[in-house]
Amino acid sequence: MKQLWAPWRIEYILSKKTDECIFCEYPKKNEDRQSLILYRGRLCYVMMNKYPYNGGHLMVVPFRHAWDLEGLEEDVICELMTLTKRSMASLSKVMRPEGFNTGLNIGRAAGAGIEEHLHMHIVPRWTGDNSFMAVLDEVHVIPEHLLATYDKLHPVFNE
């Protein structure tokens, strides 16, 4: 039997599930650390992925609920990309990745986990960061607790 330690998952497992869009609801809570929101722009915000592909996995999310780029105005798309650039710079300063995966998953067929609200993924990468784990058993190794990473990134985003 294989066991992996992921203490942050129990919160999700035990939480009350809702049909509400988390990307619309989290910013309303004004509990940025608990919601993993690192930065609020005028039209978009940056948050950490609670179930990351890799340590430091961020998402840039428009405040406006839209499932694709067609549903967003040009100024929202511009801020989405500006905050993607800022996210990469902040991650570079704090975590020193060797590369990045960035992108939008639009629609279920493209792998969107939350397909009704568009969001940009920024995943820092290091050579051999997942080694054989992801290949052999679809396992992701996250070496640092999410809130520890949050506490390192938050001040850099808000300088």
Distance CA 51, CA 71 (A): 26
Q: What is the tally of structural domains in the chain? A: 1
According to the model, what pLDDT value does residue 143 have? 61
**Using 50, 70 and 90 to split pLDDT, how confident is the model at 142?**
low
Position 4 in a domain: no
Task: Classify residue 1: in a domain, yes or no.
Answer: no
Whole-model pTM?
0.79
For residue 99, the enclosing domain spans 20-157
- Is 78 a residue whose pLDDT tops 50? yes
- C-alpha Rg value of the chain to the nearest Å: 16
The answer to the question of residue 140 being in a domain is: yes
CA distance 104 to 144: 25
Q: Which residues are catalytic?
A: 119
